[in-house]
Amino acid sequence: MSAHFNAVLLTSASHRLVSRRHPLLMLLNRRSILVAMTTTASSFSLLPSHPHLQQSIDLLNSVYGPVDSHEFPRPMSRHEAGPCFATAYSSPHQEQRRYLWTDAFAVCAYHAIANIYAENDMPDQSNFYRNAVEKLILTVHSCLGRPRSEREEDAMTPCHVSPTGYVGLRIGKVESRSDTDYGMTFDGQYFHYIDKWLLALSRTNHVEDGLRIAKSIFPHFFEKRNGGSGGVRWKLSVNARPPSALPPTFGPNDDTLNALIVFTLLETQRQRNNQCMPSLSLSKEIETLQDSLRNYRPRVTDDPLGWGLEAIFDQFVEGHPRTDQLRNLASEALDPSHIALPFRLYGALIGATVSSEDLVSSSRLEKLRQFCIQHQLREMERTMTSSGGYEEEHSAINRVMLAVALLGPGTLRRTQDDQMVQY
């Protein structure tokens, strides 16, 4: 065991290991609260050499609970996610609440942790986290792939192709109505959430589920207008209909490009699959997206979250058309002043980490990581309630995205098996 973990307390009641030297525990000890680490003692007999592995695990556990707990994944706060209809993963004592964006990044985080253990020849620990990936995906599909209630205004559109039986996935907003708004107040199907989920399914080799969701949503999200090349709508109501307040989509946009990227990843994996599943081929959808994107020039923003996501997706595009602009805007996007909305800065940190040193030096990134860790610890200490929860705004998404950033590049970096997209 590394020196970082050489001071531990094995509690007889829960058989958990607690590091008195770990920052999260020091934070809790300052408030005279003893909190045990949330992974089984056997899994911590050895720890892989990774500078931020334990911090990432602690952040994830603070949101989802221990991965070996019968409560995993713990429901989101009622302030951060709306209720789900009763499912196999809920009970009268535990109403499930899920949020698609947060859970997509969490799936990537747990998968990255599993890979870290596997790379260090620790198969039992690796399987521990792979099982967490499986359960979280099943829970999300069981919750967000179904109507949130039996009310008519919450109805979703049935679909025999989709793995959930309905078109697409809700994102899990607290408020809902049948005709969603133009903004981001009400529940609906947001493409820039679903593309993250499809990317997570691709990275974790849940290819068939990804293909089925993609097939189910494409006819509803893609809008082809007379005299135009068409493009992907950014949002639909939960019933997969365009909201009445949504302006027409006259041409391609970044959602269209991201659709091409995640569809290509899934289609490439399908073709490598021995069973091949020809009925789930996305080749026609990919051709439509390519036609729409001809002569499209992707945008670059200095908004930290947007910049980070653009950095993630740009690695999959032939010629990396945004690299120079991303590099030029890196200082603004990664400015610590963006910590006022932490998850947005953490998104930039994820993108910069995935890009390696193409955009930002590793030393600068490590300084920013330390700044973000200290900020998150202070916020968790400041907002902790007597019940052990947190009153921090966006608390779950903040902690999950920081965990992904600390594990980076994790599973989000392009591999040699990933086909580059061209249009």
Q: What percent of the chain is predicted at pLDDT more than 90?
A: 74
DSSP label at residue 420: P
Buried/exposed code over 11-49 (b: 16+ C-beta within 10 A; e: otherwise): eeeeebbbbeebebbebbeeeeeebbbbbbeebbeebbe
Predicted pLDDT at 225: 76
Angle at 259 between CA 296 and CA 213, to 5 degrees: 160
Predicted pLDDT at 392: 66
**Structure tokens, 223:** 């809008």
Q: By C-alpha distance, which of 262, 216, 260 is closest to 240?
A: 216
Buried/exposed code over 255-289 (b: 16+ C-beta within 10 A; e: otherwise): bbbbbbbbbbbbbbbbeeeeeeeeebebeebbebb
Domain that holds residue 198: 52-407
96 inside domain? yes
133 inside domain? yes
13 inside domain? no
CB < 8 Å & 24+ apart, contacts of 303-306: 303/333, 303/344, 304/333, 304/334, 304/335, 304/338, 304/344, 304/345, 304/347, 304/348, 305/343, 305/344, 305/347, 305/348
- Beta partners for residue 190, in sequence order: 235
Confidence of residue 189 (pLDDT cuts 50, 70, 90): very high
**Structure tokens, 335:** 């400015």
Burial class (CB in 10 A: 0-12, 13-18, 19+), 65: middle
Residue 196 sits in a domain whose CATH number is: 1.50.10
Q: In this model, does residue 397 exceed pLDDT 90?
A: yes
Confidence of residue 86 (pLDDT cuts 50, 70, 90): low
19 inside domain? no
- Beta partners for residue 189, in sequence order: 236
Cα 234 from Cα 92, distance rounded (Å) = 35
339 inside domain? yes
Cα 380 from Cα 391, distance rounded (Å) = 9
332 inside domain? yes
Cα 376 from Cα 395, distance rounded (Å) = 9
Cα 368 from Cα 72, distance rounded (Å) = 31
Predicted pLDDT at 223: 94
**Structure tokens, 219:** 């006819």
Predicted pLDDT at 346: 98
Task: Give the chain's domain count.
Answer: 1
**Structure tokens, 249:** 């989509």
**Structure tokens, 127:** 């399987």
Hey, what amino acid is at 195?
D
pLDDT digits (tens, 9 = 90+) for 309-341: 999 999 999 999 999 999 999 999 999 999 999
1 inside domain? no
Q: By C-alpha distance, which of 334, 325, 254, 267 is closest to 296?
A: 254
Predicted pLDDT at 227: 66
46 inside domain? no
Pair 67, 113: CB distance under 8 Å: no
- With a threshold of 0.75, does the pTM exceed it? yes
Cα 156 from Cα 173, distance rounded (Å) = 15
**Structure tokens, 311:** 């950095």
* Greater pLDDT, 171 or 4: 171
Q: In this model, does residue 14 exceed pLDDT 60?
A: no
3-state SS track over 56-93: HHHHHHHHHCCCCCCCCCCCCCCCCCCECCCCCCCECC
